């Protein structure tokens, strides 16, 4: 399973990328708002992320509310850089815009997916990536991982050749809150997990790793002191 980072913060992206295991970035309007960015800076900011990511896929979300608006904004976003993926919400307008943009060779990440039927509709409309949300189910005391399991199984049952520019659909586990979400997503065979920076750091940390490092350092110091 590949790791994407779920943020619009350039410093977080740069740090995660420096670890050498980052495969992409997802953003959304809330994540952009959190950077304090202005409306006029939105597209230049997406371009900066795309350049920082040197070819890795970067999802930039349309905020238009009609299919025509999404198509127009999607074309603009996709033209910013070859690694921009246009993110669209799964709804009537989003599906129509997805089909139109996919037919033009634009990669689409269909977001706000909460069910297997929504995922199947998105894949049939030409989505290159599908983002089922896990944490938001857990927030309302439902089981996000079992919903993800349905999406992974349903999409995995079919061949998506001819549906989009890359002839494949990848599942991005979204709305990830914990390392356990990452483990469960990988056990289910989800292709990607997009993880906020804080949760990504939690994925790396383990108290036994810290204790092991401390004892190796202490023992090595003794060897050096005796030399
Ligand atoms: C997906 O790409 C979304 O940006 C994101 O995962 C939403 O997560 P949230 O539920 O933490 O807002």
Distance 222 CA to ligand 1 centre (A): 48
pLDDT in the model for residue 211: 98
Count other C-beta atoms under 10 Å from residue 93's C-beta.
Answer: 18
pLDDT in the model for residue 112: 98
Using CA atoms, how far apart are residues 150 and 207, in angstroms rounded to an integer? 33
Distance 170 CA to ligand 1 centre (A): 16
131 burial (CB, 10 Å; 0-12 / 13-18 / 19+) is buried
> How confident is the model over 148-155, as a mean pLDDT?
98
Which one of the listed residues 17, 38, 48, 87 is annotated catalytic? Answer: 87
pTM above 0.85, yes or no: yes
pLDDT in the model for residue 148: 98
Using CA atoms, how far apart are residues 132 and 117, in angstroms rounded to an integer? 11
**Does the annotation count 163 as an active-site position?**
no
Using CA atoms, how far apart are residues 17 and 11, in angstroms rounded to an integer? 10
Q: Cα angle vertex 80, ends 74, 85, to 5°?
A: 50
- Residues lining ligand 1, CB < 6 A? 6, 26, 28, 111, 131, 133, 135-136, 174-175, 194
pLDDT in the model for residue 142: 94
Is 168 in contact with 135 (CB distance < 8 Å)? no
Count other C-beta atoms under 10 Å from residue 20's C-beta.
Answer: 6
pLDDT in the model for residue 43: 98
Distance 72 CA to ligand 1 centre (A): 24
Using CA atoms, how far apart are residues 113 and 105, in angstroms rounded to an integer? 22
pLDDT in the model for residue 60: 98
pLDDT confidence band for 156 (50 / 70 / 90) = very high
Using CA atoms, how far apart are residues 18 and 197, in angstroms rounded to an integer? 13
Tens digit of pLDDT for each residue in 100-150? 999 999 999 999 999 999 999 999 999 999 999 999 999 999 999 999 999
pLDDT in the model for residue 66: 98
What is the enclosing helix (H) or strand (E) of 163? none
Using CA atoms, how far apart are residues 126 and 200, in angstroms rounded to an integer? 30
pLDDT confidence band for 91 (50 / 70 / 90) = very high
Mean residue pLDDT across the chain: 97
Please report where in the chains the tokens 């709804």 appear, as a residue: 91
pLDDT in the model for residue 131: 98
pLDDT in the model for residue 169: 98
pLDDT in the model for residue 68: 98
* Mutational test site, ligand 1, from 27, 62, 140, 174, max ligand atoms within 8 Å of CB: 174
pLDDT in the model for residue 141: 95
Tens digit of pLDDT for each residue in 5-39? 999 999 999 999 999 999 999 999 999 999 999 99
pLDDT confidence band for 73 (50 / 70 / 90) = very high
């Amino acid at each position: 399973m590949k790791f994407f980072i779920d943020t619009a913060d350039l410093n977080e992206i740069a740090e995660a990328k420096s670890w050498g295991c980052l495969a992409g970035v997802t953003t959304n309007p809330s994540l952009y708002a959190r950077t304090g960015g202005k409306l006029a800076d939105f597209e230049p900011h997406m371009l900066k992320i795309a350049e920082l990511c040197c070819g890795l896929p970067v999802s930039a979300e349309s905020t238009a509310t009609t299919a025509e608006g999404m198509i127009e904004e999607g074309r603009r976003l996709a033209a910013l850089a070859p690694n921009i993926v246009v993110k669209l919400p799964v709804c009537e307008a989003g599906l129509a815009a997805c089909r139109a943009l996919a037919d033009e060779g634009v990669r689409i990440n269909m977001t706000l997916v909460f069910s297997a039927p929504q995922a199947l509709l998105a894949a049939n409309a030409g989505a290159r990536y599908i983002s089922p949300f896990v944490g938001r189910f857990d927030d309302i005391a439902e089981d996000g991982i079992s919903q993800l399991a349905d999406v992974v199984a349903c999409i995995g049952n079919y061949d998506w050749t001819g549906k989009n520019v890359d002839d494949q659909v990848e599942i991005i586990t979204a709305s990830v809150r914990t390392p356990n979400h990452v483990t469960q997503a990988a056990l289910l065979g989800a292709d990607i997990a997009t993880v906020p920076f804080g949760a990504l750091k939690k994925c790396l940390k383990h108290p036994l790793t810290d204790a092991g490092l401390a004892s190796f350092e202490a023992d090595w110091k003794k060897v050096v002191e005796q030399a």
